[in-house]
Structure 1
């Protein structure tokens, strides 16, 4: 699978190029266009049976163009099979079957408790295509360097970083589902991906 991007960083579109039989999972509504003959199958999920669509290339290969609902950038995050990434919820535009969602990843459960937080964890190898509200900045931290990031601007961070979630004002309103009233402290080494605009 190869990812080509265009119209970035304001109105990003990702072209996912697939070899024979390769597949990628995405929201059906994100499809702009595709090569002729690309297979589409819906995956059931939850009580309503709504889930993502899997696009599969025919014998001669193919491509699909995907665009997020909102203006902003598209970013191909590479996974090496060794290091996983925690990713802001609802920013994944496309995912190959070689990258899995780890719904019960222990560090995120420790961060959020029993609640469903504003992050999800992925691992595997390949490219995970993300949709951000603005251009993506990579903030590289040296060993022992610490920064603070607002959840509304966070895109993703690798397992190599230490992360702490804390309240801005312990007496103020807080939500682990949205990140309201919270901040994240990161200690290096590693790279934090942030977006230049907050999601609406």
Structure 2
């Protein structure tokens, strides 16, 4: 398998070239194009079928359907895109060791990459309440997307890192984590204080330079202003 990431950092596209028999798996809706020699196979609950779907539903894993793209010939291609503007980065799970990623960031992965849901306090990391934490292990590449550019930081034992958790994309599993409220951060969804996560130890953190919750909230404010400017609606007369 070969890959190139194009149109980055604002509108990144993952362009994958497959030889006969090779495949790449991706989240539903990620495909933009594929050549005629690429077959699409849909798996429910991953490789464990219905049993896997039930396990993942209980553990609050939302990605119950995966798409596998399999090449019938050499030099076949598939292009994959996230559902939001931003960047894409390849994470070598073999080299980095186990990695944790927020569920909304995972775009695609090689078949030997194993995924699991982290069912503990980390599953409540994100103030939106819509994201969980995925564990990535095994061998191969995983491709994660960010809202805005991808920003990477090495964490060392003498230099811990404090992060607004809604900017988190992924981190190496060996890092120690401590979550706390921070008055300098406003929770867009819940109001009041937001949360930060402090990382200690030796490892790596992937961050997104924009917070999608803040952007969504501003968009809603603008829509409300436009609604007011348009005068009364039909509902006002019912």
* Band of TM-score, shorter chain: 0.7 to 0.9
Aligned to 1:198: 211
- Whether 2:141 is the aligned partner of 1:127: answer yes
Distance 2:68 2:132 in 1: 25
TM-score normalised to structure 1 length = 0.82
1:112-145 superposed Cα distances (whole Å, 9 cap, x missing partner): 48x9963211101211111111111111122232
Q: Contact (CA 8 Å) 1:96, 1:128: kept in 2 or not?
A: yes
Q: CA RMSD in A?
A: 2.8
SS at match of 1:181: strand
- Whether 2:116 is the aligned partner of 1:102: answer yes
Q: Which ranges of structure 1 fall in alignment gaps of 5 or more residues?
A: none
- Whether 2:26 is the aligned partner of 1:13: answer no
Aligned to 2:198: 185
SS at match of 2:85: coil
Q: Contact (CA 8 Å) 2:89, 2:145: kept in 1 or not?
A: yes
Distance 1:3 1:122 in 2: 20
Aligned residues: 189
Q: Which ranges of structure 2 fall in alignment gaps of 5 or more residues?
A: 46-52, 55-63, 214-238
Compare relative contact order (CA 8 Å, sep 6+) and give the higher one, 1 or 2: 1
SS at match of 1:90: helix
More helix by share: 2
Distance 1:55 1:167 in 2: 42
Aligned to 2:26: 26
TM-score normalised to structure 2 length = 0.70
Aligned to 1:86: 100
- Whether 2:69 is the aligned partner of 1:55: answer yes
